[in-house]
A and B are shown apart, each in its own frame.
Chain A
Amino acid sequence: MIAHYGYADASGEYYIIIDTDKCDGCEECVKVCPEGVFEIALDDYDKAVACVKEDVIKSLHYVCPGYHHKCANEENNCHKACAQGAISHTW
């Protein structure tokens, strides 16, 4: 399942996209994110996968600096940390 977490508002589209079929629940993304955006939880089909924390979703653009804008240049980031390539960003 492709899960889009985030929103679009008048200033832009801010979604973190997680492919839960690829995710193996390894928790590397949870550890590497400086803002603590991710957590591992059971989805509705009882698979333990990464997701964006529910209380972060509506403030996503304020909490996550954005992959292309910021973290792509960092030594480590959630895209690199995920061996399965399950995570992507729209900004």
Chain B
Amino acid sequence: MKTAGVDIGSLTGKALVLEDHNIISWSLIPTNPDPNVTVKKAIDIALEKAHLSISDMDYVVSTGYGRLTVPFAQRNITEISCHAKGAHWFFPEVRTILDMGGQDCKAIRCDDTGKVTNFAMNDKCAAGAGRSMEVMADLLQLPLDNLGQLSLEIVEAEVPISNTCVVFAKSEALSHLRRGKNKSDILAGVCEALATRVYSLMKRVGIESEFVISGGIAKNIGIVKRLTDKTGLTPRISFEPQIVGALGAALFAQEILERERQT
């Protein structure tokens, strides 16, 4: 049985091809302003890598922000459920998942089958999402990929950022910069503030081992380390944390098809 999962986020589009218990191929691309273009490109790349075509797919499930407008998907399922299922495939002992992309953050609790038991999502405010890191990277003129590491290399002391709102926090960081504070120290304050907000969201749903982090934020070592300290748990991170949602969608596709074939 071959299934595909498509996860269309606000900043990235992902597609994944699953055959029985194996991930055959996947893609991860930046979104195009036109979601139809993003979806087509993501699935085309994944299919090409697998040397397959869309007609080879027995079932396709879409998820993510753009899940409702995927023409070749037979069903759409929320990203909450897909992230739980995908994380569970990688780490069957997972009970708490944190997923953060550019524009949202989700805290999810699941049971031993990967079914969601509790969730809270925040996609309204940039302060709790990856976007806050991008704004700071831009302000401090540093590469986004390096921010996490730099935030751990404190020179004098972490500079606390008191404003939650990214717009106001940016001005606050700028005045610290003008007063000669070290970029690493400012970044430490920024990462600490973000990690605190994320931890708050996680406490809302409760935290239980194993703890999995997915989404772009898993690649930010500054946030990962701070969350490790706050939760007292070492997070598990898959080889490509951004495809967890698409994997979950492909797994749901398998389940739905199996159920349909039985009836």
**Residue positions of A touching B, CB distance < 8 A:** 1-4, 6-10, 15, 44-45, 57-58
Q: Is the CB of B204 within 8 A of A15?
A: yes
A4, A9, A44, A45: which contacts B204 (Cβ < 8 A)? A4
Pick the residue among B119, B123, B125, B165 that contacts A3 (CB under 8 A): B119
Rounded to whole angstroms, the CA-CA distance of A42 and B204 in the bound complex is: 24
Residues of B within 8 A of A9 (CB): 124-125, 127, 164-165
Q: Tell me, yes or no, whether B197 is within 8 Å of chain A by CB.
A: yes
Separation in Å of the A11 CB from the closest CB of chain B? 9
Indicate if the CB atoms of A7 and B125 lie closer than 8 Å: yes
Q: Which residues of B lie under 8 Å from residue A10 when comparing CB positions?
A: 125, 127, 163-165, 168
Q: Main SS of the interface on chain A? A: strand
Query: Can you list, as one digit per residue, whether each of B86-126 has a CB less than 8 Å from chain A (1) or not (0)?
Result: 00000000000000000000000000000111111111110
| Seed contacts A2-B205, A3-B119, A4-B121; 12 additional CB < 8 Å A-B pairs | A2-B117, A2-B119, A4-B118, A7-B121, A8-B125, A8-B128, A9-B125, A9-B165, A10-B164, A44-B252, A45-B81, A45-B115
Docked CA distance A7–B87 (Å):
23
A2 surroundings in chain B (CB, below 8 A): 117-119, 205
